[in-house]
A and B are shown apart, each in its own frame.
Chain A
Amino acid sequence: MKLSWIFGPSMEAHHLLYAYVAAWLIQGGYAAWIAWHWFKTGKNARASGLPTGPRDDS
């Protein structure tokens, strides 16, 4: 299995590569943004003595 054609000089190869990389970057960037806020929110909550997880009613 060769991936060399994806990195070829043609516009088709470039655009195929850009499309796949753009999808990963946008999806990964958004997931990273959520994760960053998740940990930041948890850290702030712990600093002020507030609970960080969903309320445990069980």
Chain B
Amino acid sequence: MTRSRIYGLAGFVWFLLTIAAIVRATRLGLLVAPTEATMGNVQRIFYYHVPTSMLSLLFPYVNFGASLCYLYWRSRDPLKALTADAVAIASAEVTVVYASICLLTGMLWGRAAWGIWWTWDARLTSMLLLWLLYVSYLMLRKLSATGQAHTLAAVLSVFAAIDVPIVYMSIQWWRTQHPAPVFFGGPDSGIDPSMMPAFKWNVIGWAMWGIFLLTFRYALERRRQQIEQDNALQAIEASLEIAQ
């Protein structure tokens, strides 16, 4: 069995396990977890909103690490730099996906719970800024005509990563419409133990899904890079044949 077949099989098994985890998590969140006393059933958005929000603050660090590796290797070891670049674009796209869901589910919850779709408080604004930074990162890579687009994007990613701790700490540094931290927010924070299984399974399920997407997108980018390299090599060989 070739290495690519083993990777494919492992990816398929991981995908099936992930779907099973998400189905279980969704069932727990919608059907098993108790109804919250003050907000009612709309609070069940929490089981999707909080795990995706947490993950949307973790994937930027994958992008940050990969961008630093790219900047370090780009002149020292171009092949390693290409690998780092593939991880960087995959993690940036996954960040945008998770941050989009975080913002969208937050707005739907906010409209039902607060009566408003949006408010320019520190948490919501800094999260929107994070989303915009990673959309800018992807647009820069896609649309820039210069040969330095990947390097510029890597530098932008370093600045974007600075926004992540600001998003996380915003509800502690400033008074916001957004609720105080549910976890690690002091003695009054936390959720009822009966809600924990639904929350934990959603964190596990969506984290597994994020890893699946990241790996799949990385593999796609590596395939594209390989084709570009082979095309370039064929063009060089053809030009040498013409010269002879």
Contacts and interface: CB of A to CB of B under 8 A. Distances in A.
Contacts of B40: 12
B101 A41 contact: no
B2 interface: yes
Interface string B1-21: 011110100000000000000
A38 B222 CA distance: 11
B224 A41 contact: yes
Interface stretch (B64-72, B103-111, B149-157): B103-111
Contacts of B168: none
A49 B24 CA distance: 43
A57 to B, nearest CB: 8
B interface: dominant SS: helix
Interface in A2-55: 3, 5-6, 11-13, 15-16, 18-20, 22-23, 26-27, 30-31, 34-35, 37-38, 41-42, 44-45, 48, 50-55
Given A11-B111, A19-B45, A38-B219, A51 B226 contact: yes
Contact of B104 (A19, A34, A48, A51): A19
A12 B212 CA distance: 32
Given A12-B42, A16-B42, A38 B101 contact: no
B42 A15 contact: yes
25 contacts: A6-B30, A15-B45, A15-B108, A15-B112, A16-B45, A16-B112, A18-B108, A19-B48, A20-B26, A20-B45, A23-B52, A23-B104, A31-B213, A31-B216, A34-B213, A34-B217, A34-B220, A38-B223, A50-B227, A51-B226, A53-B4, A54-B7, A54-B222, A54-B223, A56-B2
Given A15-B111, A19-B104, A22-B104, 10 more contacts: A1-B31, A6-B30, A15-B108, A19-B49, A23-B48, A30-B213, A37-B220, A38-B223, A53-B2, A57-B3
Interface of B: 2-5, 7, 26, 30-31, 40-42, 44-45, 48-49, 52, 93, 97, 100-101, 104-105, 108-109, 111-112, 209, 212-213, 216-217, 219-220, 222-224, 226-227, 230-231
Interface of A: 1, 3, 5-6, 11-13, 15-16, 18-20, 22-23, 26-27, 30-31, 34-35, 37-38, 41-42, 44-45, 48, 50-58
